Structures are given as structure tokens and as C-alpha cells.
Structure 1
Amino acid sequence: MLDQQSAVRLGPRLLAGGMLAIDGGTVQGDLLISPEGRIQALGLGLASGPGVERVDISGKLVSPGLVDAHQHLDKTGVLRFTPNPSGTLQGARDAFAKYARTAPPDDITRRAGRTLGRCLSRGTTAIRSHINVDKDAGFRGIEALAALRAEWADRVTLQLVAFMTPHPGQDFDWLAANIDAAVGLADAVGGTPAVSEDPERYLDVIFEAAVRHGKPVDLHLDEHLNPARPLFDAVLDRVERFGMQGRTVLGHCSVLSALPRAEYERIRERIAAARCGVITLPAANLYLQGRDADMLPPRGLTRVADLARAGIPVATASDNIQDPFVPTGSGDMLEIARWTLLAGHLRGDELGLAHRMATEVPAQLMGLGDDYGLRTGAWANLLITDCPDIDTLVAGGPDNLCVLARGRVVSEHSVT
């Protein structure tokens, strides 16, 4: 599709005649990429000029790079070492905690690097990963991922969430003593209040650290289906109290599907007022939730379609890849978009929405700003495929794809 040897050479390049995925539709146009790897200009019939290499991509669909805003790179690829016979969320937590106590020093770097490469080859150019920080894992995971973040910076935008993980018997003194060092290595701070023995105190520790360090909050919130113990009000109270509106992301939110309609709508209005984003994780919630149901086991996802149609920014993401939480996964965000459409009860005419949930919306929630997208000044992080339109890209995927990171070809292959 593109000449890799040509693409890695320094110098401006003009990608001419492609179909650009912009604002939910496609328009034919050209992309001029600067020597630094940014989009210098967009338009139809751009002149190449002296010294500018022209590459004809007529008939090819150009999408901004895919964005996976919720992964766990410290856990990726440990499935064979971490059996989870119950298939439950707690079984997965216990299995990884046991493994984390004895994992060799280079283990995380090797596994996470492999998954980063697989994600990039499938078009993902930005990832936010939650990294366990607790008495079992210590700082091994977050230190290893901080090094990978620097190593991969020219190919993948990698953000880290200091995932302050509560376990039974959580030592709040340890948490308070170590959270500042953890958040100092991270781009955001998070945790999972539903499994804390004192959720209110736990949330205060997280939000206070976020304010001290000027970092956003990214939580695993109510990843369960028990309508008797939602924590949305406790979290949203703190968003308001600590001034974290527009800087808080709520992952999973599974219990919203188990609440009565009126109660769900009340919480939805609070989420909207607090300008929080929601991330659904279909692979994990389909796999882990509802195993105790005798009849009609629930899908386990949050109210994906309703939240999105109500204007809440909803992204989708991989969560875990080949570990006790999700034993499958290839790093393909288009696959996750399909799972989201099917399991989240989107319609066949909402394939474009599923695409935005894997591109524009997670980029917004990660705060990528003007560096992302098909716009002048953004990094030329692009997925170029042989699909005629966005609907086809999401519905079945490409037979041929080319991935550009900062204007350079980093992967090109054919499925046929």
C-alpha cells in the first residue's frame, strides 16, 4: 500500500487522493505530512512541490489511529501462569496477585512489549494502561511500564494509570505512604473502590493524590451487578468536591444495567453534569459477569447504547489480553468495536458510533487534544486500509492495512 523504505526517509510526504474519515463521514482529500511527522495540511488537490514525495492512496480509507483507553499491560499474556478455574472477577484478582509476588524482573517488560507491538500492528497508536501498585506487585510494574513508555514514544502514545489496588486487609497506611511515588511515575491515578474495605476513605486517598499532582482520575467503578451497592454518588460527590469535573473517567460501570430505570437516569444526569467519561470493557464483562445466574445470564456490560445516545462520552477498550481476567485478545480495537456493537445493543446503523468509541472519544478521555485526529498540526498517526468506508472498516475489517506512527510506516500487511 505504501513503500516502507520510502516512508522512513526524512522529508515531507503527500498522501494523495484518500478517503478521509472526518466527523463521522468520509471526504476525499490529501494529507501533507511534515518531516517531523505531523499533518501539515489537509485538502483536495494539494500541490506536492519540490522535495515532497507524493504517494497515491486513491480509494484507500484513512482513519486516525485507534485508541485503547483501558488496558492492563502488567497483566497481559500471563494466562498460562495464572489459572482462574472459577472464571470470576475475584478468582482473576487472586490468581494475578499470587503470580505478581514471584514474577521475574524482566517478565513485565517482555510481555508488555509484545502486546504493544501487536496492538500497533493492528492500528492502535495510543494506549492508556492501568498498572497495579500494591503490596504484592510493589512498584515493579509501573517502573517497567514507565521505561517502555519512553522506549515506545516515537510509535505509541502510552499513558499509565497508577492503579492503587485494594486487597482484603488493605493497609491504608501503606497506600497513603506510597501513592505519591506511584502517581509521580504515572499520567493518572485510579483504583477499584467496590472491593475496598472502606470505599469512602479509599476514594479520598485517590482524589487527594490526584489534586496534589494535577493528574486526572481513572477508576474501575462498580464492576459488578449488585444493585444494592453502587458507589456512583460517592465518586461523583468527590468529583464535585475536588473540582475534578471533566477530568474523571469511569470504567466498566456494569451495575448501571442492574439498576431500576429511574435510578439509572438520576445517576446518568450526575455523570453528565460532572462531565465524566465512561469506558465499557465488553470482553471482560462478558467473560466475568453473570456466572452465578441460573437463567438468562446477563451480558454484564453497562448501558452502552443509552449512555452514548444521551450524549455521555462512551469509549470502548480491550481491558485485559490473554490473562485470568480475559483469556482471549489480539490487541485489535476493531474487534473490540464489533463486540461493543453486538453486546452493547448498538444498531446496525451505528457502526460509525462504534468507530468513534475506538478513536475520537477515547482520545478525548485521554486528553490527547490537538495532537490527535485528522487535523492540521496533529501527529500523522494513521490507519490506512482498503475499506471503502467507516461502516465496512468496523463491520468486517480490512484485507490490507498500513499503520503510520508520526508519519512513518510501522506496520503493513495483508490478511488475504
Structure 2
Amino acid sequence: MGTVGDQLSFFAANRERPILLAGGRITGASAQAEQADILIGTDGRIAAVGPGLASQPDTVRVDVSGNLISPGFVDMHQHLDKTGVLRFTPNPSGTLQGAREAFAAYARTAGPEDITRRASRTMARCLSRGTTAIRSHINVDKDAGFNGIEALARQREAWSDRMTLQLVAFMTPHPGQDLEWLAGNIDPAVRFADAVGGTPAVSEHPERYMDILFEAGARASKPVDLHLDEHLDPDNVHMHAALDRVERFGMQGRTVFSHISVLSALEPDAARAIMERMIDLDVGAVTLPAANLYLQARDRTKLPPRGLTRVAELLRGGAKIATASDNIQDPFVPTGSGDMLEIARWTLLAGNLMADELRDVHRMITDIPARLMGLGADYGIRPGAWADLVLTDCEDTDTLVAGGPVQSRVLARGRLVSETATVLPQAMAETA
């Protein structure tokens, strides 16, 4: 990558002059990346994109030929209030309920400083690996109170010059916690949030609970993002009831169903009817391979199912489906590096996708979640968008997803925020 790092290290860190990234190749849906220059203004936004852009007298021209340029990665389902608590929250059963109980106990003592410290560490790790936008679900319940959502609202502001952070008010039902508390506290919680969320399958009164969530979203004109049917029980399906509320409250195009693992446990015709209805109502989907692979089917005596939803059918059928990290190093998922390329690979392998769908998986961590999060004109490689970019030495999008880079640089809001490289022996470097 030549002297790219030296030039970007100063100018992109300080944003003192416009920067012209010249000669790079831009990721896209086609097999062949498009060669184009990218002009970044001092405001951190892309001013122009196209071949052979002319440098102005005050412009710093940086030769990035040999670089593949992707828009920043989008992780649209995390739990930053839970991240990094693994050592404090043992989950001996390895189940979803075991994880819920473990974190509920910890949440009673987790103060704002603890949440901020852990969340900041994970956000920094994600940013260093190219993630420039995160949507995080934050528990609001009798255990956690408002500690998490208030702390992360402050983080959203503190990180706004480097990352887009959206918060979901995750109104969490627990056994014995009546819905009156959630109903009485949801509007104040939603004022801190960018979206409304919850998990109907564990509610004692799921239909009333969904009404509370959708009513609050409609009142606040904010989207709904549900943890929906995160299990493999075909007799416990809430998807049609949720879709009924999408229609009733006019939330078409503003609703996301995360997990929906149960689709893989339904007979094909029943699953197909739900998927077609999701597409008709413009409801997005998010698969969470790490959590679903770890938590699901531990009670099975035969070789267990994978736990994911019908990823391939949703993607090929035209649904807007993204993939995301979910939890990072907590009782729900004990691993996690914040690397969306790693999640993309898990999605392809566990979701029964094919090698010729690597570019589609790249869209599942870029364009698709950006649309589901409503990032609009602020996102992408186009004039007016934030200059949130990942520059790598990969040949094309397929190789980026399949194996990842040896060298990479991350720009956030036009500033260089991360550089990583493996030092090669001299003989190898000369032929690389």
C-alpha cells in the first residue's frame, strides 16, 4: 500500500485539507470492483466520487491504487450494556434462559461507570475492525432500570465524531414482572432511544406486550426492532401476531425482526407464508449466528440443528436480511472480537449459503443494515455521505469476505482511526 499510511496518518487524522483517494477500487454487487477516485472534504463527508477526479490546489492527493475500498461495516444488533461481563456472569446451562438469569442478577449492581467502560472498550474494538455504525439493544426493566440506556445515550453523543450509535429501548419482561411497570416506563425510555424493542416469546402475556411496544413506537414515531421467536419450538410462534401489528400500526418499512430462529423449525409451507408476508410488509430481518449457534438446541439428543433462521431462503427470496454480532463476551455469547467480517463468514457457513454469495454476505454487513437502520444519505460511497471507509489490500469483495486483509485502514468521518498490517519478510513483501 506504499506511502498511503504516512499521508493519511497526518491529513486524515487532522482533516486540515480535502483528501483525494486516487485509483482505488470500490466494492459493489458485481464481481469486478469499480475503479474510482473519492474526494473527502474537511467536513468529513464525501464530496465527489468518480474516475479521474482532478486535484484542486489545496487538495492532498493520496495514491490508493491496489486498495479495495468498502463502506464502513454496520453491526445492527449488539448489546453494549452486556458486553464484556463474561467473567462475572457464569451460565452453566449454556442456554438462553440461563444467560438471561445470569445477566439479570448482574444488572442489579451494574452502575453507569461500569457500563460506559465496557461499552467503550467494545466500541473501540469494533471501530478498529471497520465497524462505523452500531445499533445496540439496551435492557430497561426492574433489574437494570434506566442505568444502561442513560449511560449509552451519553456514549452516543461522545462517539458521534467517529461512529453512528443507535439505541433500542429493550423493554425486557421477566417472570413475575407485570406489564404495568413496562407500560408505565416505556415512554421515558423511548425518549432516550432511536427504536423500540422487546422479546415477546418470554412474556407472560405476549400479545398485550407487543401492543405496548408497537403503541409506544407509533406514539414516538420511532421504528420497532423485536427479538422475535429466538427458539426452535414450532408450537410457540408469534410472528403472525407481530406482522398483524405491523399492519395495524402502519409500521411497514419501519420494523425489524431479529433472530426469528423458529422459522427453521417450521414446515416449509408455514415458513414460506411468514417470509412472504414479511416481504410484502417490508419487514427487515437480522440473523445472529454467534448467539444462535451457541445457545440453541442444547436439549436435543440427536445431532442438533444450527439454530439460525432460514438465511438462504430469506436472502434469495428478496427479504432485507442483515447479519450482526449480537452479544460479545457475555453469558449469551462467550466469544466475539467485534469483527463483522468474521460474522459474515459464520453467516455464509452456518446459513447454508454458497461461495458465489460472498458479495451478498458483504451486503448483509453494509448496505442492507444501513437501510434497515435508516442511515439514508449519510451512508455509502457517494457524495454527501460520511467518509466512513475501510481500505484493504484485498483483490475484490469476495476475497475481503472470504479471508480478510493483510493490511487495512479505517476512516471514520474522514479521519484515519485505525491501521493494521502484518509485517512480511522482505522477499515476500517485494513480490506481494
- Give the structure-1-normalised TM-score: 0.99
Q: For residue 29 of structure 1, what is the aligned residue in structure 2?
A: 36
Question: How far apart, in 2, do the equivalents of 1:100 and 1:372 lie?
Answer: 34
Question: How far apart, in 2, do the equivalents of 1:105 and 1:244 lie?
Answer: 33
Question: How far apart, in 1, do the equivalents of 2:351 and 2:311 lie?
Answer: 5
Question: How far apart, in 2, do the equivalents of 1:180 and 1:412 lie?
Answer: 42
**Aligned with 1:223: secondary structure?**
coil
2:82–2:103 Cα contact (<8 Å) kept? yes
Query: Amino acid of the residue matched to residue 49 of structure 1?
Result: Q
Query: Amino acid of the residue matched to residue 169 of structure 2?
Result: A
CA deviation after TM superposition for structure 1 residue 93, in Å = 0.1
Q: For residue 10 of structure 2, what is the aligned residue in structure 1?
A: 5
Q: For residue 427 of structure 2, what is the aligned residue in structure 1?
A: none
**Aligned with 2:27: secondary structure?**
strand
What do the CA deviations read for 1:163-206 (whole angstroms, capped 9, x no partner)?
00000012211111100000000000000000000000000000
Question: How far apart, in 1, do the equivalents of 2:325 and 2:202 lie?
Answer: 21
CA deviation after TM superposition for structure 1 residue 6, in Å = 2.2
Question: How far apart, in 2, do the equivalents of 1:240 and 1:271 lie?
Answer: 11
Map 1:218-233 → 2, pairs under 5 A: 218-233=225-240
What do the CA deviations read for 1:107-137 (whole angstroms, capped 9, x no partner)?
0000000000000000000000000000000
Map 1:197-276 → 2, pairs under 5 A: 197-276=204-283
What do the CA deviations read for 1:231-275 (whole angstroms, capped 9, x no partner)?
011100000000000000000000000000110111111101110
Q: Is 1:175 aligned with 2:182? A: yes
Q: Is 1:140 aligned with 2:147? A: yes
**Aligned with 2:242: secondary structure?**
helix
1:70–1:319 Cα contact (<8 Å) kept? yes
Structure 2: gaps (5+ residues): 424-432
Q: Is 1:14 aligned with 2:20? A: yes
From 417, 427, 432, give the equivalent of 1:410.
Answer: 417
CA deviation after TM superposition for structure 1 residue 24, in Å = 4.3
2:89–2:330 Cα contact (<8 Å) kept? yes
Q: For residue 99 of structure 1, what is the aligned residue in structure 2?
A: 106
Q: Is 1:165 aligned with 2:165? A: no
**Aligned with 1:306: secondary structure?**
helix
What do the CA deviations read for 1:262-304 (whole angstroms, capped 9, x no partner)?
1011111110111000000000000000101111111000000
RMSD: 0.8
Question: How far apart, in 1, do the equivalents of 2:185 and 2:72 lie?
Answer: 35
Segment drifting more, 281-290 vs 171-180 = 171-180
Query: Amino acid of the residue matched to residue 18 of structure 1?
Result: G
CA deviation after TM superposition for structure 1 residue 4, in Å = 1.0
Query: Amino acid of the residue matched to residue 28 of structure 2?
Result: I
Query: Amino acid of the residue matched to residue 109 of structure 2?
Result: T
Q: For residue 284 of structure 1, what is the aligned residue in structure 2?
A: 291
2:29–2:360 Cα contact (<8 Å) kept? no
Q: For residue 334 of structure 1, what is the aligned residue in structure 2?
A: 341
- Give the structure-2-normalised TM-score: 0.95
* Identity fraction in percent: 69
Question: How far apart, in 1, do the equivalents of 2:294 and 2:171 lie?
Answer: 24
1:280–1:301 Cα contact (<8 Å) kept? yes
Segment drifting more, 100-109 vs 145-154 = 100-109
1:24–1:356 Cα contact (<8 Å) kept? no
From 54, 57, 66, give the equivalent of 2:64.
Answer: 57
2:49–2:383 Cα contact (<8 Å) kept? yes
Q: For residue 38 of structure 1, what is the aligned residue in structure 2?
A: 45
Query: Amino acid of the residue matched to residue 321 of structure 1?
Result: I
The alpha-carbon distance between structure 1 residues 299 and 16, as it changes in their structure 2 partners (threshold 3 A), is: same
Map 1:306-345 → 2, pairs under 5 A: 306-345=313-352
Equivalent pairs, count: 416
1:167–1:196 Cα contact (<8 Å) kept? yes
